[in-house]
Chain A
C-alpha cells in the first residue's frame, strides 16, 4: 500500500511537470502564430497605436511614480551604506547602474505584467467567453490577426519605453534624495555616474532586457486570454495565471540574460 501511494505521488509530480512543459511549449507556439499573423497589425498601424495607448500610456502613472520612489529609496539606502566607506559621492553610480542594468527593466516589467498583462488577458478571455472571437471567425476575420497581434505588438513596443522612463525617473528620485535632501555634491553625483556608465554595456543591454521581457509578458498575456475557458471562473483563473507566470518568466529570463551579458556569450 505504501508503495502504491509513493508511485501515485511520483506520478502526480511527473504529471504536473509535463503540464508545465506543455504550457510553455503551447505559449511559444502561440507566439510563433502571432508573429506569423502580424502583417495586418503593421498594415493597419492604428490598431497597434490603440493598444499602445491602453498598455503603455495608461501604465505611465504607476511606472513613473514607482520609479521615483524606487530611486529615492536607492538613494537613501546607498548613501547610508556608502558613507561607512567615505564614498557617499558614488551614490549616483549605485543608483544609475542598479536602475539601468537591473531594476528598471525588471520592476517595470513586473508592474507592466500586473497592470497591462492582466488587462489584456481579461479582455481577450471575455471576448472569447461572449463568443466575439467565434463571430469574427464566422465573418472570415482571423481573430489572431485582428485581436491578438495588435495587443502583442502594443505590449512589445511599450515595454522598453516604460523601462527607460522608469530608470530615468529613478535617477531623478535618487538625485532628489542624495543631492537636494542629503547634500551630496551635485557635480560628483553626475560625473561619477558618467564615468562608470557605458552606453553599449549598460544602457543598450538594459533595453535588450526590457524588449525580451515585453515579448514574454505580451505572449503569455495573449495566450492565457486566448486559451481561457469561456466562463467567469476561467477568465479569472487565466488573469491570475498571467500575472504569476509572467512574473516568474521575467525573473528567470533576467537571470539568464544577466549571466550572458556579464560573462559573455562563449
Chain B
C-alpha cells in the first residue's frame, strides 16, 4: 500500500480515537461542568455519618456544589471528621449548616448545605460548626417505641 494512503488511514484512526476520547470526556466524565475546577476545603464533625463515602456529592438546594474529599475518625472527639471540597464558584457564609441526608428512600447519602446569613465567608480549611448527623433507622424506631410506651403509661396513670 502507498505511504500516503497508509498515513491517511492512520490519521483518520487517531482522529477518531481522539474524538471518542473527547465524547467520553464531555458526555460521561462531565468535563464541561468544571469537574477539574478549583475547590476550597471545609471540615465538619458529625456524630454519625451513616453510609457517607468519599466522593459523595455535596449539595445545596439540591444542586451539586462539591464532593466529599475524605472521611475519617477523629480520635480526640470520638466522632467523624468529613472534609469537603467545594467549588470556589460557590462561596458559603460562615454560619452555613451541614447535614447528612439521603437521596430518595434507598438512595446514596450526601451532604446538604444550608446557607446562613453571616457576612463573612468560609475560607479554605474552615470548620462548619452547625451540623446534623445521619438519621439511623434503628435509633428512630427505638425512640418511637420509647415515646409510645411513655404515652401509654401516662394515659393509664392519668385517671388516678
Contact = CB atoms under 8 A, between A and B. Distances in A.
Contacts of A53: 1, 6, 9-10, 13
A198 interface: yes
- Main secondary structure on chain B at its contact with chain A? helix
Contacts of B1: 53
Contacts of B12: 57
- Main secondary structure on chain A at its contact with chain B? helix
Most buried by B among A60, A168, A171: A168
Contacts of A201: 55
Contact of B25 (A158, A195, A203): A203
Contact of B28 (A165, A203, A207): A203
B17 A167 contact: no
Contact of A198 (B6, B17, B35, B64): B35
B20 A167 contact: yes
Interface in B112-139: none
Nearest to A198: B29
Interface string B8-50: 0110111011111101110111110101100000000000000
Contact of A202 (B3, B20, B29): B29
B7 interface: yes
Contacts of A167: 20, 24
A60 B36 contact: no
B36 A57 contact: no
Contacts of A198: 29-30, 35, 55
Given A56-B10, A194-B27, A160 B17 contact: yes
A53 B21 CA distance: 19
Contacts of B6: 49-50, 53
A113 B23 CA distance: 25
Contact of B29 (A158, A168, A197): A197
A46 B9 contact: no
Given A52-B13, A161-B13, A198-B55, A168 B20 contact: yes
B17 A197 contact: no
A30 interface: no
A57 B9 contact: yes
Given A53-B10, A199-B36, 5 more contacts: A168-B19, A171-B27, A194-B33, A199-B30, A202-B29
Enumerate the 9 nearest inter-chain pairs by beta-carbon distance, A residue then B residue, closest first.
Answer: A161-B17, A199-B29, A168-B20, A197-B28, A194-B30, A164-B20, A57-B13, A203-B29, A57-B9
5 contacts: A49-B10, A52-B10, A96-B28, A197-B28, A197-B30
